[in-house]
Every structure is written in C-alpha cells, then in structure tokens.
Amino acid sequence: MKTLLLTNDDGFYSPGICALKTELGKKYRVWIVAPDREKSAISMALTLNHPLRITQVEDRIYAVNGTTADCVNIALQKILPDRPDFIVSGMNLGENLSEDVFFSGTVGGAFSGYLYGVPSLAVSLLAGLGQYHKQEFEFARGAEITAKVLKKLIALAHNGIIYNLNIPFPNRGEIAATTLGNKRYTPDIIERTDPRGRKYYWIGTGTPAYADREGTDVWAVQNGFISLSAIKYDLNSPEDHTLLLEVFKQFKI
C-alpha cells in the first residue's frame, strides 16, 4: 500500500483535508501533518524565531504550530516512519491559479515536498473566480476527483515536478492540461485608527485581473474544465542571462 502525506494551509481541521483523508484513505495509507490554524498566503515560509510544537490529534493526524512548509519538513524528518510516495496539499478553500503559486501556502506545501524529491500535488476548489467569501464547496466530489487524478499521476510522476489542480464547481467533468495564465493583484490597503489614535493597516485581497488566454489555467476554469498544471521550480530566464553575459563580459568595477 502506498503512503500519502496530506498537508494544507487551512488547518488540520479543514473540511477540505478531512474529505481527502476519507476518500484517499480507501486506497492509501494516509498521514496528516498540517498547521494548527489557518496559514493562507504564506508560501514556503519557515518558522525560525520560536520553537515548533507537535500535537498528535489522532492516529496519523498531527497538528503543528507553524507553516505548511514547517509541517512538511517535520513530517518527513520526525513523524513519518518512511518516506511517503506522494504529498497532497489541500484541498484549498479557493483558487490557486497563475501567479497565486508564488503566494499560496497550499502550493508552498507541494513545493516543499519537491525539495525533498517527493512528487507533490496541490489541490484547490473554487466556486467562482475571485470569490473568496461565502463560497459553497463540494468537498466529497472534490476529493473523488482528486483521487482519480492522483491514480493517474502516481504512475507518471517524478521527483522534479509539482502538479497544481484547480477544481471549479460546476464543471464539465473533464481535465484540461494547462499552463499558468495571468492573474494580477492590486491589494486593498485598508487604513484604520486604533483606540489609542495610532494608524494601522490591513492588506485585503482586492479584485484580481485575469487574462484568459486559451490553454491556461484561468481559461480552463472559466470554461468549466478542471485545470491540471505541471510546474517546475526554475525561475531562470535564459534569454536575459545571455544578454547579461554579452553586456557585462568586459565590464569591470
């Protein structure tokens, strides 16, 4: 029986991760190591300035007072008896499309698995682009779709790849293999005054702007497809590197 590590950025109690455990537990040996509270938009941040504590909630379910990346590191080094065959991060309560991959704690969990050479999948549910409040998610159905996708991915995944799955509701029941699209935020910066007269600021999500080029993850979910992207952790720009070599080849300071 293959072993899966489940994590997320919504907390170990989230209905998304609980639905995954129920569904994936039918075929796999499942462990949950996840934050003890919501840690959204924290990417791959690590906790360095205070100690981390692990609470065993149930058999093979652990809560950590840290980030998603903390949870993956602790799980692989201190909790799981053996290396898992796959890491699944999610199911997130809301989209993780395009530029979201840089901020998302859900995708950050999958990236953390990649750094250990473990194939990883980030899963997100959405019920309308950019709608972050009062969404109704189909957790059981989302978990069923994830299980079917995972069955295929386990056969072809390798340790140099991260998969990003976005499941819209309603959907066509079809998978679109997508590239990352374009989604840009202009966050709302809310200014308030505390009871002592001092200003404070709260960063909101704002209203994202989407570009729905055909074949991208944004286009897919807008057209009712389930989006599956393959991501490699490579931020190099070969063209600009060549330009720098040319411009600075005889430059001295």
Residues 211-248 pLDDT 10s? 879 999 999 999 999 999 999 888 899 999 999 999 99
Look at 112-116, 136-140, 166-170, 231-235 and tell me which has the smallest mean pLDDT: 231-235
DSSP strand pairing (162-168 vs 120-126): parallel
Lookup result for tokens 């809560």 = 63
Q: Is residue 135 assigned to a domain?
A: yes
Q: What's the whole-number mean pLDDT along residues 119-144?
A: 85
Q: How far apart are CA 70 and CA 58, in angstroms?
A: 19
pTM for the full predicted model? 0.92
| pLDDT category of residue 130 using cuts at 50, 70 and 90 | low
The length of the chain is 253
For the sheet containing 29-35, what is the strand order?
54-58, 61-64, 29-35, 3-7, 86-93, 120-126, 162-168, 226-231, 175-178
What confidence score (pLDDT) does residue 133 get? 59
Domain count of the chain?
1
Q: Is residue 203 assigned to a domain?
A: no
More confident residue, 71 or 210: 71
Please say whether the beta carbons of 125 and 16 come within 8 A.
yes
Q: Is residue 199 assigned to a domain?
A: no
Count of alpha carbons within 13 angstroms of residue 167, beta-carbon side? 25
What confidence score (pLDDT) does residue 206 get? 76
For the cut 60, the answer to whether the pLDDT of residue 28 exceeds it is: yes
Classify burial at 153, counting beta carbons within 10 Å of its beta carbon; exposed 0-12, middle 13-18, buried 19 or more.
Answer: buried
For the cut 80, the answer to whether the pLDDT of residue 13 exceeds it is: yes
For the cut 60, the answer to whether the pLDDT of residue 132 exceeds it is: no
CATH number at residue 174: 3.40.1210.10
What is the three-class DSSP state of 84? coil
Q: What's the whole-number mean pLDDT along residues 15-30?
A: 98
Q: Is residue 195 assigned to a domain?
A: no
Q: Is residue 186 assigned to a domain?
A: no
Over residues 155-181, the pLDDT tens digits come to 988 878 899 999 999 999 999 999 999
What confidence score (pLDDT) does residue 131 get? 57
Over residues 179-192, the pLDDT tens digits come to 999 988 888 899 99
Q: Is residue 187 assigned to a domain?
A: no
Domain extent at residue 177: 3-181+211-248
Over residues 36-81, the pLDDT tens digits come to 999 999 999 999 999 999 999 999 999 999 999 999 999 999 999 9
Q: Is residue 131 assigned to a domain?
A: yes
Q: Is residue 112 assigned to a domain?
A: yes
Q: What's the whole-number mean pLDDT along residues 142-161?
A: 92
Two structure tokens written together for 6: 């489940």
